[in-house]
Amino acid sequence: MKKIKEVSVFTNGGSDKLSTWSNVPYFFTQSLIEKGVKVNRIDLSPDPSLEKRWNKFFGRVISKMLKRTSYQYFRSYTHFNNTRLRIKKALNLYPESDANIFLTFSFSSVGLTQKPTILFCDWTYDHYFNYHANRKPDFLEKQCIRRENSQIEGADLVLLLFPSVAEYMKNRYRNKNIKYLGNVINSVYDVSEAEIIKAKENSWDLIFVGRSGYRDGALALISAFGNLKNDYPQLKLHIIGMNENDFDVLSENIYCYGYLDKGKDEDRETYYNLFRKAKIFINTTPKWGAFSATIEAMYFCIPVVVSPYDEFVKTFGEDIQFGAYCEQNLPNEIEKNIKSILGSPSYSSFCFNAHNSVREYTWSSYIDKVIKEVEAIYDNQ
């Protein structure tokens, strides 16, 4: 059997930085290194000078023609072509690499090398329109989708972070090597359940994580919090990802921290101190409730109140023993579910169940599976 000794990992941003793509590239590459695999890190971030020129001319025209478009320089053929040239250069620079791994579906080494090409991402651009944007792509977006589709079809292995997206892609593409290997916890620290649960039992801290795209969930929670204070005056609400000026009015005991960068010592400590003390994690934004932050909260033994969106239900089932599903993003529904957890004599069981539901989602375990899949490509040649 072929043993993988060296890989080239291509990312949009530095894979040595915790701030890149929700920490995923950092943990992905770091776990490979810990397994004894040599990792060549290649940053495919857009060329600033090309992006500036494109925005000055094409970007202005496109933004006037297509008001709702998501087509920007990153999605352009100019960037695609420039990225292919940079990939060629990297392939020549690292000829001993056993495989080329791309933490994106937008670019790959398909057609440029005989070495295996592996793609790893959360969802496709096409899936974004079908599920998240809930609209049809415009003619420029369709061009980008076609380019992305060609990368996916030509890859030797396509790995998904979510089971429903994997099923969607298996039905859509001819590529037969599309797989879901589980999800991962992006935590810098390990957790001692007994110690952390003891601290939570005396806590009155609620926590919400999500940037501006999750504002609807934050607003509903803020409204529910106002009512909860009547019965639980000691409650506090901590919002990570948004600032005070993202809201019109905030009542007492609501604290906003903005984006906390785990790559910065002070931000990282603030983030994890909040997680260690939090009583309940809440994000009931419909369709998508900050999955990565939610399972990280669960790892820190925090019961959760979330909407029953597809990927979460597919991963953990319709009946969860570590919190509650909020069927509607309404203040009275959120209030009811929070009260049920705060008043439960089995609160510690919620905490243990939350942690146990995700304790196997380690990066070490995940990368073992990735290495096995890559080695299998060689065995099947």
DSSP character string of 131-145: III-S---HHHHHHH
Both 303 and 366 in one domain: the answer is no
Cα(111)–Cα(115) distance, integer angstroms:
10
Domain count, the chain: 2
Does 225 lie in the same domain as 172? no
Question: What type of residue sits at position 191?
Answer: V
Q: Calculate helix-pair angle for 215-231, 331-342, nearest 10 degrees.
A: 50
Q: Is the residue at 227 inside a domain?
A: yes
Radius of gyration of the chain (CA): 22
Contacts of 148 (CB under 8 A, 6+ apart): 105, 106, 124, 125, 126
* Global pTM value: 0.95
What is the chain's percent helix, strand, coil content, to nearest 5?
50, 15, 35
| Of 156, 128, 153, nearest in space to 71 by CA | 128
Strands 157-160 and 117-121: parallel
In a domain, 63, yes or no: yes
Q: How many CA atoms lie within 13 A of 252 on its CB side?
A: 5
| H/E stretch holding 160 | strand 157-160
Residues 237, 142, single domain; the answer is: no
Q: How many Å apart are CA 299 and CA 309, to the nearest integer?
A: 20
Q: What is the model's pLDDT at position 1? A: 76
Tell me which amino acid residue 16 is.
Answer: D
DSSP state of 21: G
**Distance between CA atoms of residues 271 and 314, nearest Å:** 28
Has residue 1 been placed in a domain?
Answer: no
Whether residue 86 sits in one domain with residue 25: yes
Do 292 and 203 share a structural domain? yes
CA–CA separation, 279 and 341 (whole Å):
9
Q: 84 and 142: one domain? A: yes
The domain of 370 spans 6-184+362-379
SS3 67: coil
Judge whether 39 lies within some domain: yes
Q: Tell me how far apart the alpha carbons of residues 361 and 358 are, in angstroms, rounded to a whole number.
A: 5
CA angle 292, 132, 242 (to 5 degrees): 55
Indicate if 241 and 370 belong to the same structural domain.
no
The pLDDT, as a whole number, for residue 18 is: 94
In order along the chain (381 residues), what is the average pLDDT of each group of 10 residues?
Answer: 94 95 96 98 97 96 94 97 98 98 98 98 96 94 98 98 96 97 95 90 96 95 96 97 94 96 96 97 95 97 97 96 97 98 96 97 97 94 75
Same domain, 107 and 233: no
| One domain, residues 177 and 211 | no
Q: Which long-range contacts (CB under 8 A, 24 or more apart) does 28-35 make?
A: 28/103, 28/120, 28/363, 28/367, 30/363, 31/363, 31/364, 31/366, 31/367, 32/7, 32/367, 32/371, 34/364, 35/364, 35/367, 35/368, 35/371
Give 166's contacts (C-beta < 8 A, 6+ positions apart): 160, 178, 179, 180
Q: Do residues 354 and 369 both lie within one domain?
A: no
DSSP calls for 174-221: S-S-EEE-------SS---HHHHHHHHHT--EEEEE--GGGHHHHHHH
- Residue 92's contacts (CB-CB under 8 Å, 6 or more residues apart) are none
**Same-domain status, 259 and 148:** no
Give the model's pLDDT for residue 274.
97
147 and 236 both lie in a single domain: no
**Domain CATH code at residue 75:** 3.40.50.2000
